[in-house]
Every structure is written in structure tokens, then in C-alpha cells.
């Protein structure tokens, strides 16, 4: 019986996975394709600064990201997602939130203005709800683990994963910073939306497919970053080992 369930699940995944065309449409509508470009640039910068021989191009990583979404989101789910992103509220939300490079001075000035003229409690409640819908603590902790693994001592390499233990002081500080950053971006990006639009946005973001895709995207980025860091770390280790051998008389 268990084998039949497993086979059925596998068949469903293979036969009804979303298509490349669907995922490409989603990446375009959500502007996630622009975020992938930022990630590609970050990877290229890291490779150049570390002077590694890591030859997997960042564009290949973007392809891995797309394939991850295709595998983990069904065709029907992607149809629902595309339908949502084509609604007026989501189109406006994507445009208004397309503020990846907000000047620090401008953000600080905006936040200071909110202290002088606070938003209504109803609007702040919606912002908090949006943060809850979008903030994936588990994936962020995995991402933090990945980013810091090459700096750990050998003694700490066998420690429990971040999901099996209480977050450390540094991890809590990281999560707090990320959550505050997300909240500030939402405050800034949605400032032009009316209360009716905010309510509609809040309702949309609470839909099951939106929550699922948000988590899957976080998992995809965490997985890609983990693979990237492992290759970088392996390359650095090989380089250090070769230098040690050359230095040995």
C-alpha cells in the first residue's frame, strides 16, 4: 500500500509539474527574474573576490532555481499563482515593491516621518500580517548556516542544524535584522496603497498557494546557495592543500 502511495505521488509530480513557460511567466510577473539577476551578480562578485576556480556560471544557478520551482509547484498551482499575479492589486504591489535599492538616507527619512506621523493601528496590523506571511524563519536560518559554514571551526562542524536547536545569539540578531528590513520595505513600498488595497493585498497574501510558493522560493535559494558555498569551500581547501604541499621541503 505504501509503495502504491509513493508511486502515485511520484507520478503526480512528474506528470503535472509546472512547465518552463509557466515558471518564466511567473518570474516575469513577480519581478523575481530581476532578483535572480542580483543573485547572479552577487555570486560573480564572491567568485571574483575569492579568486576560485569555481566554473559553474551563475546563469546555470538561475536555471537550477527555475527547475526547482517547476518540480515543486504543480501545473494547477502555477495556474492559480499566475491568475493572482495578474490581478490589479498584485500588479500594483509588485511595481511598488520593486525598490531593491532604496537609498539609506531616503529610508531613514521615511521611517523618521512615521515617528512624527504614525500610521493607523489597522494599517500596521496589516503590515505585521504581511511580514508573517512572507518571513520564512526556517529557510533563513538554513541560509545563515550556509553563509557562515566556511568560517566555522572544525570543532563546530558536527553541531546540530539550525532547525534542531535554539537559534544562537548571532542567529537571533540576523533574524531580527532580516525581519526589520522586510517590515521597513513593506512600509515604504505600500505607502501609496489605500486601506482597501491593503486589505485586499493582505487577503491575497494569506492564500495557501502564496504561502507555499514563498516557502519554496526560500528553499530554492537556500539550496542553491548551499551548493555554491560548498563548491567554493572545496575549491579553497584544494588551493590551501596544494600550497601546503608546495611549501613542504
pLDDT tens string 120-179: 999 999 999 999 999 988 888 887 887 776 555 444 445 555 556 688 999 999 999 999
Of 162-171, 188-197, 231-240, least confident by mean pLDDT is 231-240
Q: Are residues 121 and 213 in the same domain?
A: yes
Q: How many other CB atoms are found less than 10 A from the CB of residue 126?
A: 22
| Structural domain boundaries enclosing 77 | 16-50+57-86
Residue 98 lies in a domain: no
Residue 3 lies in a domain: no
Residue 226 lies in a domain: no
Q: What is the pLDDT of residue 239?
A: 64
Q: Are residues 138 and 216 in the same domain?
A: yes
Q: Are residues 43 and 124 in the same domain?
A: no
> How many percent of the chain have pLDDT more than 70?
75
| Cα 161 to Cα 164, 215, 240, distances in angstroms | 5, 18, 27
DSSP-derived letter for residue 84 is H
Residue 236 lies in a domain: no
Q: Are residues 82 and 124 in the same domain?
A: no
Write out pLDDT tens, residues 46-104: 767 665 555 555 557 788 899 999 999 999 999 999 999 999 999 999 999 886 578 88
Q: Are residues 23 and 65 in the same domain?
A: yes
What's the structural domain count of the chain? Answer: 2
Angstrom distance (rounded) from CA 60 to CA 224: 10
Angstrom distance (rounded) from CA 87 to CA 93: 10
pLDDT-based confidence at residue 235 (cuts at 50, 70, 90): low
Q: What is the pLDDT of residue 59?
A: 59
Angstrom distance (rounded) from CA 68 to CA 62: 10
Q: Are residues 75 and 21 in the same domain?
A: yes
Q: What is the pLDDT of residue 58?
A: 55
Q: Are residues 46 and 129 in the same domain?
A: no
Q: Are residues 69 and 157 in the same domain?
A: no
Q: Are residues 147 and 64 in the same domain?
A: no
Amino acid at each position: 500500500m505504501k509503495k502504491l502511495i509513493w508511486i502515485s505521488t511520484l507520478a503526480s509530480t512528474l506528470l503535472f509539474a509546472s512547465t518552463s513557460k509557466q515558471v518564466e511567466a511567473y518570474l516575469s510577473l513577480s519581478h523575481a527574474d530581476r532578483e535572480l539577476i542580483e543573485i547572479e551578480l552577487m555570486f560573480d562578485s564572491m567568485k571574483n573576490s575569492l579568486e576560485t576556480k569555481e566554473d559553474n556560471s551563475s546563469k546555470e544557478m538561475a536555471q537550477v532555481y527555475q527547475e526547482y520551482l517547476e518540480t515543486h509547484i504543480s501545473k494547477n498551482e502555477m495556474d492559480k499563482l499566475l491568475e493572482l499575479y495578474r490581478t490589479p492589486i498584485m500588479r500594483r504591489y509588485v511595481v511598488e515593491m520593486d525598490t531593491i535599492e532604496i537609498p539609506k538616507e531616503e529610508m531613514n527619512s521615511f521611517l523618521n516621518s512615521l515617528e512624527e506621523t504614525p500610521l493607523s493601528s489597522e494599517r500596521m496590523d496589516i503590515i505585521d500580517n504581511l511580514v508573517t506571511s512572507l518571513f520564512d524563519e526556517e529557510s533563513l536560518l538554513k541560509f545563515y548556516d550556509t553563509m557562515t559554514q566556511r568560517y566555522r571551526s572544525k570543532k563546530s562542524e558536527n553541531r546540530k542544524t539550525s532547525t534542531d536547536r535554539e537559534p544562537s545569539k548571532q542567529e537571533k540578531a540576523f533574524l531580527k535584522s532580516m525581519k526589520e528590513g522586510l517590515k521597513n520595505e513593506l512600509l515604504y513600498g505600500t505607502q501609496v496603497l489605500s486601506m482597501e488595497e491593503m486589505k485586499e493585498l493582505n487577503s491575497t497574501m494569506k492564500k495557501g498557494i502564496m504561502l507555499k510558493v514563498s516557502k519554496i522560493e526560500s528553499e530554492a535559494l537556500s539550496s542553491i546557495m548551499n551548493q555554491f558555498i560548498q563548491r567554493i569551500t572545496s575549491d579553497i581547501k584544494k588551493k590551501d592543500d596544494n600550497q601546503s604541499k608546495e611549501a613542504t621541503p
